[in-house]
């Protein structure tokens, strides 16, 4: 007889999305299982760019410094001309960090290392990935999901209150739910390979024949490894040879150089680019996250980042729902994240077009810092504000001084699974403490002293105004101190009973 396990959440797929959901559930004490059908971790570099907004998420998850230490910044792009000479340029315009936006440049780390760091963080929280466990089938009713999982010890029935389908672009969960995945195949096929290679320096991202889809070749040193990542568009139907010899021959054919020698191949793939978006992100008790919900071309380095942020949006809502907040919180996941993915699909497709014309340049739009949820059902403005921060905006960072004189930052106050209420020179006598909500008073007599005016510059709060910041770093509500009593229903509804 098959074994039977009962948990709160079953997360299917241990890529970037599944691992992030799992960390979010683990740090809130939710009982869950993270299953992965591969026997061992995925070995490919794939999504190697960690955008500034994802760096902020990683700071909150407690892994940003590890990611930075393991990887590094992107090297300059070295564009080769027909005569063999080259010109170097920064991949993105150099944008200085600001007090409100402390991370300003994409980091580079091959996806297998990013996932390793996520797994280590999960381990610190007392959980691990169940490798070699495949979701075969599931059904759901009003109370939960019953799944059949095949693992090393045989088949098992898992009953869960919710199922998260973080099972990648070919998501069997999406298909089983009957959710359409409309969009288009972009008519571009490409190879990507992680290789040891001789003949090129590691101080630049080498780019040959930019804009010529028949001859383009990009070879990027992968930070944190001795590998290079080779990327090249290839003909739609022609056979590809991803062996050492085949890749060396490709490099010679596209560069005219015989000194670029591939020594070994640790992972290689040949894929067709798609731009697709799931019609729904939620069906009953089942949610789609990451590539299961959206497929992008790799231009602009958005896929992994969008996937991590889906998971970061969903994790705290699932934990709150398990405490009985009701359905509206879970419904807000699709309302908030699907429009973001729609915009990202448009962006990465436009960047692909620009790349095909030889003119791709990544600007601020790829950083994902301007992502917000102003139209979310969770955004509450109890008093219309004419300027400053609005409900749904990303909550900016700001350095300040603690009342005890120590330097601090808002992101330090936000770090963790709780909500934060910032009250600008406001007294809140009626406001009772609630589990999961940290209240901070900003002002000369508060615990947060805005000595350099960075909080004022970023939030623009007048005396008596308050801002409620969600666990995922977006503003949930803005209100006047005297309206605090009216906020009770909102707080109840988001799990802060
Ligand atoms: C060739 C290639 C190049 C890319 N380049 C870039 C890039 O440059 N920049 C960028 O940002 N993104 C890039 N991406 C996209 C990026 O890799 C994805 O957006 C990211 O991996 C999505 O993470 P995910 O967790 O949603 O899905 P995945 O990483 O695909 O993880 C899904 C996991 O679910 C597992 N799974 C599937 N079905 C089951 C099942 N039934 N039971 C148990 N487990 C299951 C799979 O084995 C897999 O490990 C690239 C992707 C590919 C394929």
CATH T-level topology, domain 184-273? D-Amino Acid Oxidase; Chain A, domain 2 (3.30.9)
Q: Does the beta carbon of 269 lie inside 6 Å of ligand 1? A: yes
Range 20-32 average pLDDT: 98
In this prediction, residue 29 has a pLDDT band, given cuts at 50, 70 and 90, of very high
Phi-psi region of 190 (alpha: psi -120 to 50; beta: other; left: phi over 0): beta
Spatial neighbors of 245 by CB under 8 A, at least 6 apart, are none
Confidence (pLDDT) at 452:
97
Average model confidence (pLDDT) across the chain: 93
Choose between 86 and 385: higher pLDDT. Answer: 86
Fold of 3-71+104-183+275-366: FAD/NAD(P)-binding domain (3.50.50)
State yes or no: pLDDT of 354 exceeds 80.
no
Of the candidate ranges 348-352, 468-472, 492-496, the one whose mean pLDDT is the lowest: 348-352
pLDDT of residue 357: 67
Distance 456 CA to ligand 1 centre (A): 41
C-alpha 125 to ligand 1 mean position (Å): 23
The residue whose C-alpha atom lies closest to atom 39 belonging to ligand 1 is 167
Per-residue model confidence (pLDDT) at position 90: 83
- Beta strands of 169-260 (E only): which ranges? 183-198, 205-208, 217-221, 228-234
pLDDT at res. 92 = 64
- For residue 361, what pLDDT is reported? 63
Domain boundaries, the chain: 3-71+104-183+275-366, 184-273, 380-493
Mutational test site, ligand 1, from 14, 145, 166, 168, max ligand atoms within 8 Å of CB: 168
Q: What percent of the chain has pLDDT over 90?
A: 78
Q: Residue 324's pLDDT band (boundaries 50, 70, 90)?
A: confident
Pocket test for ligand 1, best of 167, 242, 274 (most atoms within 8 A of CB): 167
CB 389 within 8 A of CB 343: no
Q: Which of 242, 271, 247, 279 is nearest to 261 (CA)?
A: 247
Nearest atom in ligand 1 to the alpha carbon of residue 169 is 30
Which residue would you say has higher pLDDT here, 226 or 83? Answer: 226
Indicate which residue's Cα is closest to atom 6 of ligand 1.
47
| pLDDT for the residue 358 | 64
Give me the pLDDT at residue 350, please: 74
Separation of CA 212 and ligand 1 centre (Å):
28
Q: How far apart are the first and last CA of the chain?
A: 42
pLDDT digits (tens, 9 = 90+) for 153-211: 999 999 999 999 999 999 999 999 999 999 988 788 999 999 999 999 999 999 999 87
Relative to beta strand 130-131, strand 32-36 is: parallel
Query: Distance, CA 247 to ligand 1 centroid (Å)?
Result: 23
Architecture of domain 380-493: 3-Layer(aba) Sandwich (3.40)
Bigger pLDDT: 381 vs 12:
12
- Give the confidence band of 302 by pLDDT, cuts at 50, 70, 90: confident
* E strand intervals along 302-344: none
**CA pseudo-torsion sign 380, 384, 389, 392:** positive
Could you tell me the distance, in angstroms and rounded to a whole number, from the CA of residue 289 to the centre of ligand 1?
A: 11
H helices then E strands: how many in the chain? 11, 27
Q: Which of 46, 112, 345 to mutate to test the pocket of ligand 1 (most atoms within 8 A of CB)?
A: 46
CB 240 within 8 A of CB 249: no
DSSP secondary structure of 129-148: -EET-EEEEEEE-SS-EEEE
Q: How far is the centre of ligand 1, averaged over its atoms, from the C-alpha of 291 (Å)? A: 6
pLDDT digits (tens, 9 = 90+) for 245-295: 999 999 999 999 999 999 999 999 999 888 899 999 999 999 999 999 999
Instruction: Indicate if ligand 1 lies below 6 Å from the C-beta of 240.
Output: no
């Amino acid at each position: 007889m098959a074994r039977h396990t009962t948990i709160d959440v079953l997360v299917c797929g241990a890529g970037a999305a599944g691992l992030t959901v799992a960390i979010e559930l683990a740090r809130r004490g939710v009982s869950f299982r993270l299953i992965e059908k591969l026997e061992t971790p995925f070995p490919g570099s794939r999504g190697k760019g960690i955008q500034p907004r994802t760096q902020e998420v990683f700071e909150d998850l407690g892994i940003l410094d590890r990611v930075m230490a393991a990887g590094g910044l992107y090297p300059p792009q070295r564009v080769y001309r027909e005569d063999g000479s080259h010109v170097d340029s920064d991949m993105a315009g150099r944008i200085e960090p600001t007090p409100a936006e402390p991370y300003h440049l994409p980091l580079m780390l091959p996806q297998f290392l990013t996932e390793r760091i996520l797994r280590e963080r999960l381990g610190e929280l007392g959980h691990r990935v169940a490798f070699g466990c495949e979701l075969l089938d599931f059904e759901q009713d009003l109370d939960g999901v019953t799944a059949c999982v095949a693992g090393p010890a045989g088949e098992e029935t898992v009953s869960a209150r919710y199922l998260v389908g973080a099972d990648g672009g070919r998501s069997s969960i999406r298909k089983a739910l009957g959710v359409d995945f409309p969009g288009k195949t972009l008519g571009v096929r490409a190879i990507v390979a992680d290789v040891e290679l001789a003949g090129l320096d590691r101080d630049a991202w080498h780019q040959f024949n930019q804009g010529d889809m028949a001859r383009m070749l990009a070879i990027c040193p992968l930070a944190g490894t001795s590998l290079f990542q080779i990327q090249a568009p290839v003909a739609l139907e022609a056979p590809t040879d991803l062996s050492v010899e085949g890749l060396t021959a490709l490099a010679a054919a596209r560069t005219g150089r015989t000194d670029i020698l591939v020594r070994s191949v640790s992972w290689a793939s040949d894929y067709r680019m798609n731009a697709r978006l799931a019609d729904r992100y939620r069906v009953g008790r089942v949610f789609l996250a990451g590539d299961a919900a959206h497929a992008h071309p790799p231009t602009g380095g958005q896929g992994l980042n969008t996937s991590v942020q889906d998971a970061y949006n969903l994790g705290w809502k699932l934990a709150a729902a398990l405490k009985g907040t009701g359905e509206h919180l879970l419904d807000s996941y699709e309302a908030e994240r699907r429009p973001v993915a729609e915009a990202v699909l448009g962006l990465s497709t436009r960047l692909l077009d620009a790349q095909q014309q030889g003119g791709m340049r990544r600007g601020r739009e790829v950083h994902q810092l301007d992502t917000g949820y102003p139209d979310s059902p969770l955004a509450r403005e109890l008093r219309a504000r004419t300027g400053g921060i609005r409900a749904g905006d990303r909550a900016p960072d700001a350095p300040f001084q603690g009342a005890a004189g120590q330097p601090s930052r808002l992101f330090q106050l936000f770090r963790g699974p709780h909500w934060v209420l910032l009250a600008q020179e406001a007294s809140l006598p009626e406001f009772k403490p609630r589990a999961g909500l940290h209240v901070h008073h900003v002002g000369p007599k508060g615990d947060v002293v805005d000595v350099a005016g960075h909080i004022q510059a970023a939030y623009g709060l007048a005396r008596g105004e308050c801002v409620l910041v969600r666990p995922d770093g977006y503003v949930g509500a803005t209100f006047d101190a005297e309206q605090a009593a009216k906020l009770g229903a909102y707080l109840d509804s988001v799990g802060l009973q």
